[in-house]
Amino acid sequence: MSDITPLFSTLLTQRSAAPIPPNRQPPAPADEFLKEAYRIATHIASLTRHLQSTRQSYLSTARAPVSRLPTSSTTGAYLTDAQRDALDAETKKIIRSTLSLILRLESAEKVRVQTETKIFQKKHSSLKSLWGDESAKEREEAAMKIVAAHRESLIWFLKNRLEKASEEQRERQEIRLQRQIERGKSLLHKAPAGVKVAGAARVNLEEEERREVEALSPDQLRIFEKENEGMLKHYEDTLEQVRTAESSLLEISELQTQLATNLATQNVHIDNLIMDSLNTTENIERGNKELKKASEKASFARSAFLGIVVFCSVVFVWDWFI
């Protein structure tokens, strides 16, 4: 998110107000809701930086160099498949725990709004409130809606940031899975050119290969068997890696879908809150104008009444003395 502090300072200057100092640090939030929101935002920012810093080594296809000398230049530059799996598991764990914190904060805010609404309704449903100031009631209601909309927007912001982080994780997992599949295909397609012959030539080739195999010594046969077992083991390991990557990708996709659904629902809720706040503000402005007009009319009526009273008093006194 871009820094809009300079724009805000320009608006302050245009209205003959002091701009914000360039090195001014924001005050620490006193509200518990904001404290928790800042803490969650810090976790998400740390996760995003971690994903960006490990992206190159995560997607690198280079193998780690065989060296007994520890060098700081290669630290973190090469990752094994086990290390990539560990990174995926750690990232999913962080995303799940962060989402749980956001949902807990959202649940606490809903409870606060419900409690505040009940107190407000109880306060203004008594007989005493019938003779109270209606404009003060509307201002209090507008303040409640503005705070609720602001906090709802903060929760949406946190979910949106977490959704972007999960999108980054999903994207690089997709790239890794695609590369593993392509690597497996390239290994499977490595076959001798003579296999592509057909018909009688293929039969002759198979007979020739059979005779060559029969002519091999037992030691040579054992060597070929070990090579075949090693190749089969490599294919099985590659298939298992692909299955693990697919499972991990499916889990992170489910998390992202959950976040996207929550964001879509919350967008509608925020729009409704903003519309309610705008309508309440318009009602307050309209009520203030009507109160101003009523006070002007009352002032004129009061002046007319006093004028009539004075005139009648003068006429009465004049008639009395005459």
Instruction: Name the least confident of 61-65, 228-232, 248-252, 265-269.
Output: 61-65
Name residues whose C-beta falls within 8 Å of residue 102's C-beta, 6 or more positions apart in sequence: 40, 155, 158, 159, 162
CB atoms within 10 A of CB 175: 13
Alpha-carbon gap, residue 281 to 144, rounded angstroms: 12
pTM of the model: 0.62
Query: Percent of the chain beyond pLDDT 70?
Result: 62
CB atoms within 10 A of CB 170: 17
| pLDDT tens, residue by residue, 181-190 | 777 666 655 5
pLDDT band at 198 (very low <50, low <70, confident <90, very high): very low
Predicted local distance difference test score (pLDDT) of residue 77: 66
pLDDT band at 197 (very low <50, low <70, confident <90, very high): very low
For residue 97, give Cα distances in angstroms to 93, 117, 307.
6, 30, 75
Name residues whose C-beta falls within 8 Å of residue 284's C-beta, 6 or more positions apart in sequence: 135, 138, 139, 142
Predicted local distance difference test score (pLDDT) of residue 144: 86
Helix orientation angle between 81-123 and 134-188, rounded to the nearest 10 degrees: 160
Query: Is residue 30's pLDDT more than 90?
Result: no
Q: Between 213 and 312, where is the model more confident?
A: 312
Quote the DSSP letter at residue 194. Answer: G
The domain ranges of the chain are 31-55+81-125+132-171+256-321
pLDDT band at 49 (very low <50, low <70, confident <90, very high): very high
pLDDT band at 61 (very low <50, low <70, confident <90, very high): confident
Q: Between 256 and 130, where is the model more confident?
A: 256
Cβ–Cβ < 8 Å for 129, 123: yes
Continuous H helices in the chain? 5-14, 32-59, 81-123, 134-188, 200-214, 218-321
Q: Between 74 and 106, where is the model more confident?
A: 106
Q: Best-predicted range by mean pLDDT among 12-16, 175-179, 268-272? A: 12-16
Name residues whose C-beta falls within 8 Å of residue 96's C-beta, 6 or more positions apart in sequence: 255
Instruction: Name the least confident of 163-172, 192-201, 258-267.
Output: 192-201
Query: Is residue 37's pLDDT more than 60?
Result: yes
Helix orientation angle between 218-321 and 134-188, rounded to the nearest 10 degrees: 170
Average pLDDT over every residue of 89-96: 90
What's the mean per-residue pLDDT of the chain?
A: 75
| pLDDT tens, residue by residue, 107-133 | 999 999 999 888 888 887 766 655 666
Cβ–Cβ < 8 Å for 29, 35: yes
* Cα first-last separation, the chain: 87
Predicted local distance difference test score (pLDDT) of residue 203: 52
Q: Between 44 and 285, where is the model more confident?
A: 44
